Chains A and B, each alone.
Chain A
Amino acid sequence: MKRLLWADVAARRRMIAGLVVGTAVFVLALASIEAIGGLSEVGRQAFGEAPPALSALAGSRSGFDVFTPLGLLAFAFNHPFFLALSLAIGVAIGTAAIAGDVESGRAQLWYTRPVPRHLILRGRLVFWLLAQICVVAAGVAGGVLASLLSDSLGTDGAGVAIRAGVQFLPLALFIGALSFAVSAFAPTRARALGRTLGITFLAYLANFVSLLWSTAEPLRWITPFGYYDPLGVVQGIRWWDAVALSTAAAALILIAHAGLARRDLA
């Protein structure tokens, strides 16, 4: 399986490198703007309290003010740009792993070996996990670096960045696992990609609406984003949310295994 891992690394090294750099630079840039220009203070002076739409965009139910240095740093880990960068790796690898292999014809070389299908899938899962951890760690590194260079963030900022990464990882695992599960049942990679992105967007939208409109608050329980509170990490990691997302991700991986075992590979 080591060769399988290296094959994936060779095929995707540029994408991983791009996402690692992009994620790190984005968090570093946002935190640096806060450190140098006092972005949160500018926002406070302009709006007073954070507008409901901005609070909803920050994805927080903790009530922690986004117009604080630490709040803004935590917000970086729920910014749509950060979400797009850091979730892209799981979506790309997950949809390519099964539907993409079938579509490209690579499955005809790999899955015709005397190896049970689930072992090949396991190899792809290990690769995805490592790549996902690298991308999230890059975001954390960007936040930590900005914090160490900033008086307003300091060591508290470094702690928030690390906790934000830990809290975010289960969400990334869920979306990646969703990609694998969808891929196991999709005839082409394009369809797997479309379905995964559609589900993810609807899930994000559901959480956004539930934050903005109290009547829709129960929607938070059916969307993975409802179990992720980036501003809440200022006070500490919400382990039960992490456990819930990780368990759901594991269930999706089992579904992917079942789908792969039953599907045609050509």
Chain B
Amino acid sequence: MWRPRGIDSITAVAEEPNPIVCRGLTRYYGSTVGIEGLDLVVRRGTVTGFLGPNGAGKTTVLRLLVGLLRPTSGEAWIGGVPVADPEARRRIGFMPSDPAFVGELTGAANLDLLADLGGAESVDRSWAIELLDFDVRDLGRPVKEYSSGMVQKLALIQAVQHRPDVVLLDEPANRLDPLAHHGFENLVRAIAAGGRTVLLSSHVLSEVESTCDEVAMVRRGRLLMVSSVRDLSAAALRRVTVVYRERPAQLPDGLHDASADGLVVTARVEAHRPAVLREILQDPAVDDLLVEAAPLEETFVHLYREERGA
């Protein structure tokens, strides 16, 4: 059963050396809320999706974690080290949403420069290049000649080439084509398989669903909930399609967003509501019934509506 994870569970694991811990993390831009009172723990070896609509505060959190922004209040740690300490950044690989490389330098020179600034004793980028299907010959070309998808791949490579413990990705798959997206998913899985931690922001639920173990939903600067993708899927709405022999006199209670097309009625039912399904089946006019899990997208929208209603 899905449950929001709150401060209690955070307190329980706060003593462990979790790769990412935020406590009361708050950032205002003047009077505008960037993020407010964020309590979040990301566990080692997981891929967590930071999900929310544009302007929800996802990028603000990532920028606070890498030290680009200073919090108005609250604290955050990377592997137990406060984010204000440059040592915390040694453990991080960060990919911004709009990476700005030195266009006149080649891809390889940009990667070398960033590795040099990172103080990495050794870098290993070949695995990432292979997984992303990046043509090695392109590394010898100036970045200003790259397409946006190639720049995106280069940004992913620079974020992981020094094998950081924590990888923070801001809208990482924005400009990737479907083939490259597959490579991106493999890359993220490879990072997590090595016991490393990934936190990625996205407003695309299908991306999170296919890539992440956990999902943190944020809206208007506030964390709505944290859940495993599996729990969320289990809690997802069910999409019900009922085929009647004759027009029904009345639809059962518990059906949401019902619409009829002739004798076929489609609707949504909340998870774990077998009574509604039984009521449908007891109607002698029902000829057929199809129940399937609704896409996570619909659950997401449903949760946001609930939150707005609250």
Chain A residues near B (Cβ < 8 Å): 3-4, 6-7, 10-11, 13, 104-116, 120, 262, 264-266
Q: Separation in Å of the A112 CB from the closest CB of chain B?
A: 4
Q: Which residues of A contact B103 (CB under 8 A)?
A: 11
Q: Which residues of A contact B297 (CB under 8 A)?
A: none
Name 9 A/B residue pairs within 8 A (Cβ), A-sorted: A3-B112, A4-B116, A10-B105, A11-B104, A106-B102, A108-B98, A109-B96, A109-B99, A115-B118
Knowing A7-B102, A109-B100, say if A114 contacts B69 (CB, 8 Å).
no
Docked Cα-Cα span, A81 to B8, in Å, equals 68
Chain A, residue nearest B66 (CB): A112
Q: Is B1 an interface residue (CB 8 A)?
A: no
Q: Separation in Å of the B103 CB from the closest CB of chain A?
A: 8
A109 touching B86, Cβ below 8 Å = no
Knowing A10-B104, A266-B68, say if A113 contacts B89 (CB, 8 Å).
yes
Q: Is B235 an interface residue (CB 8 A)?
A: no
Chain B residues near A (Cβ < 8 Å): 63, 66-70, 86-90, 92, 94, 96, 98-105, 109-110, 112-114, 116-119, 155, 158
Q: Which residues of A contact B104 (CB under 8 A)?
A: 10-11, 13
Nearest 7 pairs of A and B residues by beta carbon:
A108-B96, A105-B100, A114-B90, A113-B117, A266-B68, A112-B66, A114-B89
Docked Cα-Cα span, A112 to B168, in Å, equals 11
B68 touching A115, Cβ below 8 Å = no
Knowing A105-B99, A106-B100, say if A112 contacts B105 (CB, 8 Å).
no
Residue of B68, B89, B119 touching A264 (CB-CB under 8 A): B68
Q: Which residues of B contact A105 (CB under 8 A)?
A: 96, 98-100
A116 touching B86, Cβ below 8 Å = yes
Q: Separation in Å of the A30 CB from the closest CB of chain B?
A: 33
Docked Cα-Cα span, A148 to B235, in Å, equals 87
Residue of B94, B100, B114 touching A104 (CB-CB under 8 A): B100
B99 touching A3, Cβ below 8 Å = no
Q: Which residues of B contact A112 (CB under 8 A)?
A: 66-68, 89, 92, 94, 96
Docked Cα-Cα span, A107 to B68, in Å, equals 8
Docked Cα-Cα span, A13 to B112, in Å, equals 20
A113 touching B119, Cβ below 8 Å = yes
User: A-side binding surface: helix, strand, loop or mixed?
Assistant: helix
5 further contact pairs, Cβ within 8 A, besides A106-B101, A112-B67: A4-B113, A11-B104, A13-B104, A105-B98, A108-B63
A3 touching B113, Cβ below 8 Å = yes
Docked Cα-Cα span, A114 to B83, in Å, equals 11
Docked Cα-Cα span, A6 to B105, in Å, equals 9
Docked Cα-Cα span, A106 to B103, in Å, equals 11
A111 touching B68, Cβ below 8 Å = yes
Q: Which residues of A contact B94 (CB under 8 A)?
A: 108, 112
Docked Cα-Cα span, A11 to B109, in Å, equals 12
Docked Cα-Cα span, A13 to B164, in Å, equals 34
Chain A, residue nearest B142 (CB): A10
Select the residue from B98, B101, B109, B116 with max chain A CB neighbours within 10 A. Answer: B116
Docked Cα-Cα span, A177 to B185, in Å, equals 46
Q: Which residues of B contact A11 (CB under 8 A)?
A: 102-105
Select the residue from B69, B92, B113, B158 with max chain A CB neighbours within 10 A. Answer: B113
Chain A, residue nearest B93 (CB): A112
Q: Which residues of B contact A3 (CB under 8 A)?
A: 109, 112-113, 116-117
B114 touching A113, Cβ below 8 Å = yes
Select the residue from B89, B90, B104 with max chain A CB neighbours within 10 A. Answer: B104
Knowing A114-B86, A114-B90, say if A108 contacts B68 (CB, 8 Å).
yes
Q: Which residues of A contact B112 (CB under 8 A)?
A: 3
Chain A, residue nearest B106 (CB): A10
Chain B, residue nearest A115 (CB): B117
Chain A, residue nearest B59 (CB): A266
Knowing A104-B100, A109-B99, A109-B101, say if A265 contacts B68 (CB, 8 Å).
yes
Docked Cα-Cα span, A114 to B120, in Å, equals 9
Q: Which residues of B contact A13 (CB under 8 A)?
A: 104
Q: Separation in Å of the B102 CB from the closest CB of chain A?
A: 5
Chain B, residue nearest A101 (CB): B100
Q: Which residues of A contact B99 (CB under 8 A)?
A: 105, 108-109
Docked Cα-Cα span, A86 to B105, in Å, equals 26
Q: Which residues of B contact A115 (CB under 8 A)?
A: 86, 117-119
Chain A, residue nearest B113 (CB): A3
Q: Separation in Å of the B3 CB from the closest CB of chain A?
A: 34
Docked Cα-Cα span, A111 to B86, in Å, equals 10
Chain B, residue nearest A104 (CB): B100
Chain A, residue nearest B116 (CB): A3
B70 touching A7, Cβ below 8 Å = no
Residue of B66, B105, B158 touching A7 (CB-CB under 8 A): B105
Docked Cα-Cα span, A116 to B85, in Å, equals 9
Docked Cα-Cα span, A11 to B142, in Å, equals 11
